[in-house]
Amino acid sequence: MSHIRRVVIEEIRGKRFKIDGSLGRENNEVELRRINVLTGCNGSFKTSILEALTASLLTLTSPSYAKSLAYVAATLRMDELWLYKLLRDGFKLMVDDITIKTISEPSTKAVIIAEDSYRKRSLSRLEVIRKTSTSWSSWYRYNRYNISINVEKIDYSINYDFIALSMPNLLTQRFVNSFIKLISSKSNLYLFLLDKFGKVFEDFEIYFYRFEQDEFNRRSIIFAVKNDGGAMKIPIQYLGSGYLGLALMTLAASKDIVIYDNVESRMHPRLMYRAAELMSDAKNVQWIITTQSSEMLEAILNNVDLNELLVIETSTKGLLRVYDGDEANRRVKKLDEDLRGSCL
């Protein structure tokens, strides 16, 4: 199990950041905890921070999972080209003792490099190459764009087992295939999921069933919904949107690190409390999430061990205010005001 101990957020897309608060150090270093919540107004760089952290970890995980991780993480921006765009715009972070930064390349290529911050030793290089194909209709020519991802990892002793996502607008088959590939690396996955879903979905009419092929021979994650005649099997795509979000969180908890944007999306407050209970119960998982919901923040503060909690309040000016769980609990009224529109 490998969690992130600390991060230094220097610059993302030309925006420089500054840490405020007793938990932030002069060099913008923040020591993360097991549950880390970014909260703040729209346009305050919450998603951008998750994007840059995700791109950084892509250089520090198994190269065989990079493409699937990048595709699932495309839900952060709902754009398959998100990684190429981010790297072209540029960022610089430090994750633990590793500096990750973008470097300038020709217009069809975007590159990140990771190096040991102290020994200045190269650890990994990730390239995203934009590819263009031309199609013709009877009236005009148009171009289609896609990307290829190549990871050259030099030091295989460093490995972060993570997943990054947000609630997808459309749960495509490619997303499902990529998601299954990522979580399938966990040993005893089926027993793990039965246990987790049994707790998270307790008292609901839904439970995890198994992985199987559907009638169209597509890989699927199957749930069972109780009804008067027993239970009906349904694929994950047909869950109600709130249940779907909670199910994706529970499946993601098979990884060491879960990065989740807008964690409360489409959830009723009752499901938000179940999500907070999941984060509290999954002791081996480090959560790095964002929320714009005062109800979700309240659910987290009421359910998790405050000693395991870090809250980072973002602002449109790039100022990041860092609070431990106890201080966030004392400041919850001010945080709630910010979430409801009194942004600074």
| Confidence (pLDDT) at 328 | 87
Per the model's pLDDT, the better-predicted residue between 337 and 16 turns out to be: 16
> Looking at the DSSP assignment, which residues form a beta bridge with residue 124?
114, 153
Amino acid at 1: M
| Confidence (pLDDT) at 251 | 96
SS3 state of residue 236:
helix
Residue 119 — pLDDT band, cuts 50, 70, 90? confident
Q: Are 309 and 332 in contact (CB under 8 A)?
A: no
Helices 241-252 & 173-183 angle (0-180, nearest 10): 30
Q: What is the DSSP string of 134-180?
A: EEE-SS-EEEEEEEEEEEEES-TT----EEEEE--SS--HHHHHHHH
The rounded Cα 24 to chain-centroid distance in angstroms is 22
Q: What is the DSSP string of 43-93?
A: TSSHHHHHHHHHHHHHTTS-GGGHHHHHHHHGGGTT-TTHHHHHHHH-EEE
**% of the chain beyond a pLDDT of 90:** 66
pLDDT digits (tens, 9 = 90+) for 58-88: 999 999 999 999 999 999 998 889 999 999 9
Give the Cα-Cα-Cα angle 118, 120, 125 (nearest 5 degrees).
Answer: 125
Per DSSP bridges, beta strands 257-261 and 286-291 are parallel
**What is the sign, positive or negative, of the torsion defined by CA atoms of 46, 51, 56, 61?**
positive
Using alpha carbons, select from 229, 249, 315 the residue that is nearest to residue 19.
Answer: 315
**What is the sign, positive or negative, of the torsion defined by CA atoms of 318, 117, 101, 284?**
negative
Among 26-30, 211-215, 221-225, 333-337, the range of highest mean pLDDT: 221-225
Q: Are 53 and 95 in contact (CB under 8 A)?
A: yes
| Confidence (pLDDT) at 226 | 85
Amino acid at 10: E
Gap between the terminal Cα atoms of the chain? 38
pLDDT exceeds cutoff 60 at 142: no
Q: How far apart are CA 304 and CA 273, in angstroms?
A: 10
Per the model's pLDDT, the better-predicted residue between 212 and 339 turns out to be: 212
pLDDT digits (tens, 9 = 90+) for 235-287: 999 999 999 999 999 999 999 999 999 999 999 999 999 999 999 999 999 99
Residue 342 — pLDDT band, cuts 50, 70, 90? low
The rounded Cα 253 to chain-centroid distance in angstroms is 11
Residue 176 — pLDDT band, cuts 50, 70, 90? very high
